[in-house]
Chain A
Amino acid sequence: MPLQVKRLLIVFAILIGTMFALKYFLTPESWREFGPYRGNALKEIAAQEAKYIDTKTCAMCHDLIAELKNNGEHNSIQCENCHGPGYKHIDDQENNEMKIPKGREFCIRCHARNAARPLNIIKQIDATEHNIGEDCITCHNPHQPWL
C-alpha cells in the first residue's frame, strides 16, 4: 500500500475515533429511550409546575364576577386569558395580585378588524377610527361587554 494512503487511513482512523469519542461523551443521556429524541425531555416537560388554574377555582371567591361573565359574550374565555396565571394567587393573594389590563391595546388583540377573523364569532372594530383615545372599559364591562 502506498505510504500516502497509509497515512490517510491513520488520519481517518483518528477522525472516526474522535467522532465515536464525541458520540460517547456528548450524546444526551436519555437519547433513544423512546425514539430519536431525548427521553428526558418528556419528563422535564411533565415536571413543570402547572401555572394555570381553571375558572371554577376563580369562582370559589369571585362568584359574582364569574356569574356575570358566564352570562355574557365572554363566557367561553378563561379568567386567566386576561388576568394571567393564577397559581400563586390562590395561595397568597396579598403578594400575588392578578393583572387587570385596562388599556386599549389589550382588547385590540382579539377585536381589531382582521379579514382572517370570522365576523360572526368575534366582534371587530377599526381601532384607528373607533373612539380614539378612549379605553374600551369606559363603555364596555369586560366581564359582560354589552351590559
Chain B
Amino acid sequence: MNKLQNLYEALANVEGYIYPNEIALNWDLLIVMYPYITGLVAGAFILASLNRVFDIKALRPTYEISLLTALSFMLVATMPLISHLGQPFRFYEMLITPHLTSAMAIFGFVYIWYLMVVLLLEIWFDYRYDMVIWSEQKKGFMKFFYKALTLWVSDKSPESRKTDDKIGYFITVIGIPSAFLLHGYVGFIFGSLKANPWWSSVMMPVIFLFSAMVSGIALVMFIYMVINFIRRKKNDILCLDTIAKYLFYILILDFTLESLDQIHRIYEADESFDILKLLVHGKLFFTFFIMQIGVGTIFPLAVLGFFQFKQPSEKIRKILYLIVSSAVLIGIFFMRWNVVIGGQLFSKSFYGFTSYKVDLIGGKDVWLSLLWFIIPFFILAFLLWLLPPWKKAKHVEG
C-alpha cells in the first residue's frame, strides 16, 4: 500500500484545483540559494566600491574583506544551479555555445565577465605589490606560489604602484555597473516570466539588486566582526557605524521598492490578485510577514534607525550590529524563498495550491544548499590566509 499512501500524502498537500504537473515543485531550495549567494557577491562588491570609488574612508578596514568575500561566494555562485541540473556534467556547454536567445544562456557571459574581468583583476591589482613583498619574504613553495600569483613581475617602484591603483580604480568603476548587471540579471530571469504573476514585474531586477546590496553589506559587517573576534582585535567602531548607516539607507530603499511593488499589485488587483492574497496570508505568512518583513526588515530598520538619533554605548552597538546583520541575512534568505518557492506554490489556474516541504532526511536539496553556503566561508578563510588584508602595505594613491 506504499504507493497508495504516497499518492494520498501528495494529494493531502494539495488544495483546491491544480494541474497535475504542479503537484511537485521543479525549483527547490537549491534555486533559492542561487539568487541568495549571487546577491551576497554583488552586495559585498558594492560595499568595496563605496570605499574605493566614492572615497568613504571609514570603510577602508572592510575593503579587502569585501572583495575577498565577494570572490569566495562568486566561486560557488553557479554550484547550486549545476548541482540542481539533471545533467550536471554538461554545464560547460553553456559557456562554449553562447547565444542570445534565452535569458539563462546569457548567465555564462555575465558570470565570466564579473569573475574574470572585475573581481579577479581588481583583487590582483590591489594585492600585486604585497604579493611581490611576500614572495621575497617567504621560502620554498610559498615563494614560488606568490611569484606565480604576481606573474613573475617584481616591480615595486612607486610608479608601478600608482599604475596598479589607477587601473584598480578604473576596474572598480566598471565593476559597479557590472555588479548591478549581475544581480539585476538574476532578478530579470524571474521578472521576465510573464506566465507567473508573482514574478512578472519590471520592478523585480531593481528589487533583487537592492536586496542584494542589503545582504552583501550585512554579510561583510558580520564577517568583519567575526574576523576581529577570531584575531582578538578591536572592531573599528567608526567603520561599523558607517556600514550600519549605509545598511540603513539601502534597507529603506529596498523596503520602499518592495512595498511599491506590492502596493502596485494590490491596487492593480488583476485576475491573479485573489490567489496571491491567499498565498501571502496563508502559505507564505510565516516566511513573508514574520521572517522577511518582521525579522529581515522592520527589526533592523528600527534598530539602525534608532542609532541614527541616539547611540548607546559601543559594546551594545557591537552586539546589536551582530544581531542586525544576522537578521538581515536571514530576512533576505526568506525574501529569495518567498520569490522562488512562493511563485511555484499556487496553480496557474489561480484556483489551488500545492505545498513544499524541504526534505531534511534523504533529500539532496537541504544538504547541498548548506554545503554551498558553508564552502564560501572556507574559501574565504583560505583567501584571508593567503592574502591577509592586515599584512598589506600602506595604500598609495594613483
Q: What is the interface of chain A, defined by CB distance below 8 A to chain B?
A: 2-5, 7-8, 11, 15, 19, 22-23, 26-28, 31-32, 35-36, 104-105, 108-109, 112-116, 127-128
Contact = CB atoms under 8 A, between A and B. Distances in A.
A7 B18 contact: no
B4 A104 contact: yes
B242 interface: no
Interface string B15-27: 1111110000000
B327 to A, nearest CB: 39
Interface in B85-114: 92-93, 95-97, 99, 101-102, 105
Contacts of B124: 8
A4 B151 contact: yes
Interface pairs A-B: 4 shortest CB-CB: A36-B99, A7-B151, A23-B96, A105-B3
A120 B125 CA distance: 71
A67 to B, nearest CB: 31
B319 interface: no
Q: Which residue of A3, A7, A28, A109 has the most chain B CB atoms within 10 A of its CB atom? A: A3
Interface residues of B, number: 38
Given A7-B151, A128-B8, A22 B17 contact: no
Given A31-B97, A108-B7, A116-B16, 16 more contacts: A8-B124, A8-B151, A22-B92, A23-B96, A27-B96, A28-B97, A36-B97, A36-B99, A36-B105, A108-B3, A109-B7, A112-B7, A113-B11, A114-B11, A115-B17, A116-B20
A4 B155 contact: yes
Contacts of A105: 1, 3-4
Interface string B172-206: 00000000000000000000000000000000000
Nearest to B20: A116
Contacts of A35: 101
A5 B125 CA distance: 10
Nearest to A31: B97
Contacts of B102: 36
Nearest to A36: B99
B7 A115 contact: no
Interface of B: 1, 3-4, 7-8, 11, 14-20, 92-93, 95-97, 99, 101-102, 105, 116, 121, 124-125, 128, 150-153, 155, 159-160, 163-164, 167, 352
A115 B349 CA distance: 13
Given A2-B163, A4-B164, A127-B8, A22 B96 contact: yes
Q: Which residue of A15, A28, A32, A36 has the most chain B CB atoms within 10 A of its CB atom? A: A36
A32 B97 CA distance: 9
14 contacts: A4-B163, A8-B121, A19-B96, A28-B97, A36-B99, A104-B4, A105-B1, A105-B3, A113-B11, A115-B15, A116-B352, A127-B4, A127-B8, A128-B4
A44 to B, nearest CB: 15
A22 B352 CA distance: 47
A116 B19 contact: yes
A27 B97 contact: yes
A8 B128 CA distance: 12
Contacts of A115: 14-17, 352
A9 B130 CA distance: 21
A134 to B, nearest CB: 13
A1 to B, nearest CB: 10
A31 B99 CA distance: 11
Given A28-B93, A114-B11, A116-B18, A4 B99 contact: no
A2 B150 CA distance: 14
A116 B7 contact: no
B153 A15 contact: no
Contacts of B155: 2-4
